[in-house]
Structure 1
Amino acid sequence: MSEPGQRLYFLLQRAAHQLRTAADRRCLAAAGITTAQLGALFAVEDRPGVTQQQLARTLGLRESAVTGLVARLTAAGLLARSAHPTEHRAVVLELTEAGSAALDAARPEIDRFNAELRALLGDDGFDRTAAALHRIVHGGE
């Protein structure tokens, strides 16, 4: 049997799947949204007036995937789309009151989830893991 360090990528993949599944279940119960939807709502909250193209870059998704995600969030009344003031083909995204309420409902569950991870990894391990994952996602920024 190989050392766990030699299988780090596969362990990360499995852990990410298990964490996403658990977080989805908890976010659905608390706020009626998935973690993918939650990520999009947080991104729009952080940058009101973001375009779908900018949202795709922020989330690391293809624009076609974000188009579907935004359509579902708009249909659910969580996001509002409006014409971009200068780019005729672009739309800008804003949270609705229902979108803000969904984020507010999800926050305590996300806080509990992070607290459980912090307890598992310890304060130093949690902070170091978060910093390392941030560097991977953002290319060393």
Structure 2
Amino acid sequence: MAQLAQVFADLVRFETRLYNAVDDRLRAAHGVSTGQFEFLKIIGSRDDCRVQDLAHEVAITVGATSKGVDRLEARGWVSRRPNPANRRSSLLGLTTEGRELLDAATGTFEDELRTWLDEPLTARSLDQFAATLTRLRRTVEDAGAGLPRG
């Protein structure tokens, strides 16, 4: 039986190094961080994305998400428009420049993932790993565990 503390340590260390490797590539090639890329990817995949939706998806506070969106808006990658269903919120969308950046950076992102996930594993191992991670993520999400504070 696997030592749970070691599984935890390996999972966290792998995630951190993978995130940093992807971040290094995205910054060098496109001038965008992994966090910014993830925001762009989520916003670009939804018609009516609110800051609250984005915060829920990435499991960070609404305040931190709003500041991140402010930075994307300042760079000209994201725009806000009034939410007709709720005057207290805005709907987010990619600008033309934001869509072009997302499209260009997606290939780099996927290439880096192939390097660190696809190449070291067999197709079967990767499928099993993906299914296991999906199950574990669903377990903590269904339990409401690990929600951001503040």
Shorter-chain TM-score above 0.5: yes
Structure 1 partner of 2:9: 10
Instruction: Tell me the SS of whatever aligns to 1:120.
Output: coil
Relative contact order (C-alpha < 8 Å, sep 6+): which is higher?
A: 2
1:137 Cα deviation after fit:
2.4
Unaligned runs of 5+ in 2: 143-150
Question: Helix, strand or coil: the match of 1:133?
Answer: helix
- Paired position in structure 2 for 1:91: 90
Structure 1 moving runs of 4+ over 6 Å: none
Structure 2 counterparts to residues 99-114 of structure 1, below 5 A: 99-114=98-113
CA distance in 2, matches of 1:33, 1:46: 18
Deviations 1:23-69 (A, max 9, x none): 00101122211111111111111112211111111111110110111
Q: 1:138 to 1:77 in 2, by over 3 A?
A: farther
Tell me the TM-score normalized by structure 2. 0.85
Which stretch of the first structure deviates more once superposed, 101-110 or 83-92? 101-110
Within-5 A mapping of 1:55-134 = 55-116=54-115, 117-134=117-134
Query: Which secondary structure does the structure 2 equivalent of 1:8 belong to?
Result: helix
Gaps of 5+ in 1: none
Matched residue type, 2:38: G
Give me the whole-angstrom Cα distance separating, in 1, the residues matched to 2:50 and 2:5: 40
Equivalent residue for 1:35?
Answer: 34
- The Cα offsets for residues 1-34 of structure 1, whole Å up to 9 and x where unpaired, read as xx76640101111111111111001011222111
Please give the root-mean-square deviation of Cα atoms over the aligned residues, in Å: 1.8
Give the letter for the 1:128 counterpart. Q
Distance 1:113 1:4 in 2: 29
Aligned amino acid, residue 121 of structure 1: L
Rounded Cα–Cα distance in structure 2 between residues aligned with 1:89 and 1:5: 44
Q: Following the alignment from structure 1 to structure 2, what is the Cα–Cα distance between the partners of residues 128 and 43?
A: 25
Q: What is the count of residue pairs matched by the alignment? A: 139
Deviations 1:69-124, CA, capped at 9 Å, x for gaps: 10010001110011101201001000111111111111111221222211112211
Q: What TM-score comes out, normalization by structure 1 length?
A: 0.90
Find the residue that maps to 1:80 and give its secondary structure: strand
Give the drift of 1:134.
Answer: 2.1
Q: Which residue of 1 aligns with 2:145?
A: none
Q: Distance in 1 between matches of 2:73 and 2:34?
A: 16
Quote the Cα distance in structure 1 between the aligned partners of 2:105 and 2:48: 22
Q: Sequence identity, in percent?
A: 29
